[in-house]
Amino acid sequence: MRRATVYDVAERAGVSIATVSCTYWQPSRVRESTRLKVLEVAKRLNYIPSASARNLARGRVGALGLYSFDFCPVRSLEQGCEDGQEREGETDICTYPLYADEVERGFQQACWQMGQAVLLGGSTGSNPTRSVVDMAGRVDGLALLSWLGDISTLQRLATIMPVVMLAQNPGDLPVLYVSADNYAGLGELIDHLVGVHGAKRIEYVGSMIDPEMRERFHVIQERLTQLGRPVPLMPVDEGFAAKQPFQSVKAMQLARDLPDALVCENDQTALAVINFLRGLGTRVPDDVMVTGADGILAGQFSDPTLTTVQLPMQRIGNIAAHELARQEGKPWTKTKSVLVSEKLKIRQSCGCERPVIHVSDC
Amino acid sequence: MRRATVYDVAERAGVSIATVSCTYWQPSRVRESTRLKVLEVAKRLNYIPSASARNLARGRVGALGLYSFDFCPVRSLEQGCEDGQEREGETDICTYPLYADEVERGFQQACWQMGQAVLLGGSTGSNPTRSVVDMAGRVDGLALLSWLGDISTLQRLATIMPVVMLAQNPGDLPVLYVSADNYAGLGELIDHLVGVHGAKRIEYVGSMIDPEMRERFHVIQERLTQLGRPVPLMPVDEGFAAKQPFQSVKAMQLARDLPDALVCENDQTALAVINFLRGLGTRVPDDVMVTGADGILAGQFSDPTLTTVQLPMQRIGNIAAHELARQEGKPWTKTKSVLVSEKLKIRQSCGCERPVIHVSDC
DNA sequence: CTGAAAGCGCTAACAG
DNA sequence: CTGTTAGCGCTTTCAG
């Protein structure tokens, strides 16, 4: 059975198609009785307006797109397993909450609230350019969570519709960049360590290869400089980036030369450091403070619970959607950016006492 | 600047619009030189094909929709807070992984793989019927994760396009039901408790109000009957549904009348029971086995780790997408259903030894 | 208040 | 191989 169209409804209701259309979009222009009649027929005919036709006529789609790369290992498929159901062993707690999910949540929520549809897309290993262009044809604006394709594609898109890049800034494109404010977040963390705990010597554990992590280190250096405290010239340990992780930390420990605080590139590294130190008989925070960054779930119930700065991924997604909607399909003409503040989560690993959260208390 | 269309491209390339169209969809029909020319012009003009127009002409959308209700507290907005950023206190570990995310992941993945776009929708507290109908107009098929609207709307939709209901079965509609196979999953659990651990007396802790939980109880009864073991007539304790949770459990404990195993309605209840018993000096699994159902993250690193049956939410989403795509826009004509098997996760709370997963091992 | 008619941008026969 | 043409279903002036 063919789907009912405006024509069908109009015919059975004894009116013109214009009236049917108006019934939906400008009800005030239609006499009550006619409107009711139309609605009644529409329901009887099971009429569902075609969005394609409406969008074509209007020149607007009413949908925003979120393009995200499939970067979480939990999500990935195993060889020969079509549905991604099987995972090697257990789910890795250290990856929750998944950034992509958080961003998606915020994006989605904002879109729904604004009455926009949400289109999700991503590369499936195949051609990212192709898929993002296809998406672009379906939406009024596009947010990219993780774009690994070429800049030129981006440039093309940014010319004809609003594009926002999330937590990623590949240069001076006419797009909106929405990212976490590492600067303020880590600054606050350092302030806390220095101000509240009187830390004199603070060292950084992390990679200088990953640009994100490198930035974190620089922010810390800068803040310590401002505070007039000793500034580390290099990470004291590369963390997982090293072939032998934490050997420098071990050396310091053996030499009884641990700093007051070890600020780590992220939570995962911080938890590993804490565990590693425990193995050496060093206690956190008693002997040394350790902090992370990101705000993964595991840091909430590790022992000690982890002091960290929390990435505002949900908020980032949310803002992206709002800003896109505001553009009403019009591209940005120059680079813009929004920094979203991170939240300092003060917990036990810096020496601040707080009740442990027991899993069993659920 | 107006967006380029096929007409623009055709004109500048000195060909007809049909040739432009063919260049994209039937490249073999176009001479190499012409094709290259068209592609070159298209790129120069920043041409992005309009999905609306294409879909309208084709009569197909190339997108599948997932409608889900915003039921997770973590997702919800606080009063006056537009972006859902602020959460009361910490994130609740006991809700991870979020079902909706898992389903979404599976759905998304399947769609991408099949080259289908994914449309996400949901009620934002406002009119669910309206939003679902709007969505329906934009897709070739619809999956509903949590439908709280009326059946008649469902019925209308199911008449004109394929609809699948996830983990929910409101009756004999011409739709596809995809849900977890409680039957086999819990059956296996019982088999394990009886077969491996020689459990004689098994009791159920949970509510009889929630239909899902009630079903779980019935499945357990049935299985025990089949095995010729004592069958509980009622849950021994209502769990959180009671005003005073676990009082019956407490009574049994005091009377030294604990069964061999307490099978709980879900993981959350199971973890709470374990904790409650610990408070009374009873050890799990030494004094009594306790099991859950759902497979939340917390059960992986609780002490003891939790034996449970894991809901296959990702797989459910995945199957839904595949089945929808197979219909190619055509509705189902009669009720169908697919049961997805749950996975028994044997851990410590039933007495099976396995290494504890330390959070700090991340 | 209602209707006629002109597109929206693209696809898919069908001719050439 | 390429061009012509007739829609796809809906919105929206502009007349009536």
CATH no. for residue B20? 1.10.260.40
B73 in the same domain as B44:
no
- Same domain for A34 and A125, yes or no, is no
Which of A55, A268, A314 has its CB closest to that of B84? A314
Nearest CA in chain A to B274: A360
Residue B88 has pLDDT above 60, yes or no: no
Query: Is the model's pLDDT at B79 over the cut of 60?
Result: no
Q: Which of B112, B137, B301 sits opposite A48 (nearest CB)?
A: B137
Confidence at A89, pLDDT banded by 50, 70, 90? low
Bridge partners (DSSP) listed for residue B181: B341
Mark whether A24 and A165 lie in a shared domain.
no
8 Å CB contact of B46 and A160 = yes
Quick one: average pLDDT of B130-134? 89
Nucleotide C8, nearest residue via CA and C1': A57
Residues 109-148 of A with CB under 8 A from B: 109-110, 112-113, 117-124, 131, 133-138
**Strand D contact with B76 (CB < 7 A):** no
Cβ proximity of A98 and A294 under 8 Å: no
| Chain A residues in contact with B137 (beta carbon < 8 A) | 48-51, 54
Phi, psi (rounded to 5 degrees) for B247? -70, -35
Contacts of B233 (CB under 8 A, 6+ apart): none
- Quick one: pLDDT at residue B219? 97
The answer to the question of residue B56 being in a domain is no
**DSSP letter for each residue of B141-208:** EEEES---S-HHHHHHHHHHS-EEEES---SS-SSEEEEEEHHHHHHHHHHHHHHTT----EEEES-S
Rounded Cα distance between B360 and A272, Å, is 6
Tell the residue number behind the tokens 């032998």, with chain if given.
Answer: A244
Q: Is residue B57 part of a domain?
A: no
Alpha helices in chain A (DSSP H): 6-13, 17-25, 32-45, 51-58, 99-113, 128-136, 151-160, 182-191, 211-227, 247-254, 267-279, 313-327
Measured between beta carbons, the chain A residues lying within 8 angstroms of B300 are 90-91, 93
Rama region for B325: left / alpha / beta (φ>0; ψ in -120 to 50; rest): alpha
B30 touches strand D (CB under 7 A): yes
Position A81 pLDDT exceeds 50: no
**pLDDT band at A225, cuts 50/70/90?**
very high
Q: Which of residues 227-256 of B touch A (CB under 8 A)?
A: none
Q: Give Rg (Cα) of chain A.
A: 27
Buried b / exposed e along B50-82 (16+ C-beta atoms within 10 A): bbbbbbbeeeebbbbbbbbbbebebbebeeeee
Cα Rg for chain B, rounded, in angstroms?
A: 27
Overall domain count for chain A: 2
- Same domain, yes or no: B158 and B263: yes
Q: How far apart are CA A263 and CA A265, in angstroms?
A: 7
B:54-83 Cβ neighbours of strand C under 7 Å: 54, 56-58
What token pair was written down for B272?
């709470």
Q: Under a CB-based contact definition with an 8 Å cutoff, are residues A308 and B90 in contact?
A: no
Query: How far apart, in Å, do the first and last CA atoms of chain B sit?
Result: 52
Q: What is the spatial distance between Cα B235 and Cα A312, in angstroms, rounded to a whole number? A: 43
A1, part of any domain = no
Q: Which two tokens stand for residue A180?
A: 């976490």
**Structural domain span for residue B187:** 62-362
pLDDT above 70 covers what percent of chain B?
90
pLDDT score of B188 more than 70? yes
Q: Test B83 with A3 for CB contact under 8 angstroms.
A: no
- Chain B residue with CA closest to A70: the answer is B109
Q: Do B315 and A83 touch (CB under 8 A)?
A: yes
Q: State whether B51 and A137 contact (CB < 8 Å).
A: yes
Same domain, yes or no: A187 and A274? yes
Does residue A15 approach strand C to less than 7 Å at its CB?
yes
Q: How many CB atoms lie within 10 A of CB A200?
A: 12
Residue A71 · residue B301 · CB < 8 Å:
no
Q: For residue A355, name the pLDDT band (cuts at 50, 70, 90).
A: low
Distance (Å) of CA A106 to CA A42, A308, B70: 35, 21, 12
Residues B193 and B272 in one domain: yes
Residue B21 and residue B151 in one domain: no
CATH number of residue A169's parent domain: 3.40.50.2300
